Homo-oligomer: A and B are copies of this chain.
């Protein structure tokens, strides 16, 4: 059982993630984690804070001589912009944030809520996901996220292999898969920013190289589709989640949705066991389990809730109408969202892999993976 929680405030000392149940024997490299952290801070449309900080991870526990011990792993991202103790409360709750709701629920300050509710917290979820990818890699599993839409503009992906598409994404300031669309969209972001307004968008995450049988159909709270939906919807500002065709599936007929099953003996020894599907409308999940195809999940992010041109709000002390408070913010953070969603998906996939193949040591997991492929091929 791979579990994790985070702690930390936006302007506090640090953000911390604690992962319990991470297998022993995994070689950990901090640099790829830091790359993900920098990617989260990048993307076109970001404001000042991302330039103040360059996040790096400190693996504080669970590793000896570069290899995991099977002990819990604590990751820390220090806030270089630590100033919480010098900050005051905010008087005017910002619509779209947890300011009003949290202050009422906890009978406390707005500051006390926003500091934790802030998307700053996702830095350490990204670090945790990047760590989990180092467990997935030895199994040939790759998690790949990109931006599919910015505001009402689509970025239709060009054709290409996973390697080619990754290269394109890493070249794009928007983290999209069609560089020819970038200029028009950057212009849109600039225009909207000048108007004091903000933008959201849609991200897609694919997981390549998955074996059969992660997740289960047997109990509602162990279905992998449900777990992924929770992890993704629990990312700040996400308001929609789709698997495979998603809402489009609802609008087609059955014969245009369900993916036929073919058998190709020559692929019997691969991760598909030879069960090939000419389409992948299911997005790699049937009955809450992976089916050997690429997992596809999409998330809708609402526009940033802090607007330079403030929304109508009230002063919480006087109850008088006033514009919402403004804290330094971005115009568009959809590129960051693609990194965040990619990484929370990576954590859930790692957890499902541990559920299926055990969590004591990588060595044992790999032997079991091989064993499963053999047994399943004889099924």
Contact = CB atoms under 8 A, between A and B. Distances in A.
Interface in A246-274: 246-247, 249-255, 257-263, 265, 273-274
* A72, A85, A376 pick with most chain B CB within 10 angstroms: A72
B64 A212 contact: no
A27 interface: no
A263 B314 contact: yes
Contacts of A364: 107, 371-372, 375
Nearest to A290: B101
Given A234-B220, A250-B149, A368-B371, A7 B240 contact: no
A106 B25 contact: yes
A112 to B, nearest CB: 4
Interface string A92-121: 011111101111111111011101110000
A190 interface: no
Given A7-B60, A18-B16, A247-B247, A254 B199 contact: yes
Nearest to A241: B241
23 contacts: A9-B64, A15-B61, A18-B74, A71-B112, A96-B258, A106-B213, A106-B360, A116-B217, A117-B288, A152-B252, A225-B233, A226-B233, A227-B230, A228-B233, A229-B229, A236-B287, A239-B243, A250-B302, A254-B303, A258-B305, A261-B313, A275-B314, A316-B379
Contact of A13 (B21, B61, B112, B253): B61
Contact of A249 (B1, B107, B112, B200): B200
Interface in A318-355: 319-321, 324, 344, 355
Interface string A12-48: 1111101011001100000000000000000000000
A197 interface: yes
> Chain A interface secondary structure, helix, strand, loop or mixed?
mixed
A331 to B, nearest CB: 9
Given A229-B230, A312-B262, A218 B70 contact: yes
Contacts of A294: none
Interface residues of A, number: 156
A107 B263 contact: no
Given A219-B6, A220-B125, A379 B107 contact: yes
Nearest to A302: B249
B239 A286 contact: no
Contact of A25 (B108, B251, B255): B108
A176 interface: no
Given A152-B251, A220-B235, A239-B246, 18 more contacts: A5-B220, A14-B61, A16-B61, A70-B116, A95-B277, A96-B282, A101-B290, A102-B289, A103-B379, A151-B252, A197-B254, A200-B252, A226-B229, A229-B232, A258-B302, A263-B320, A275-B314, A358-B358
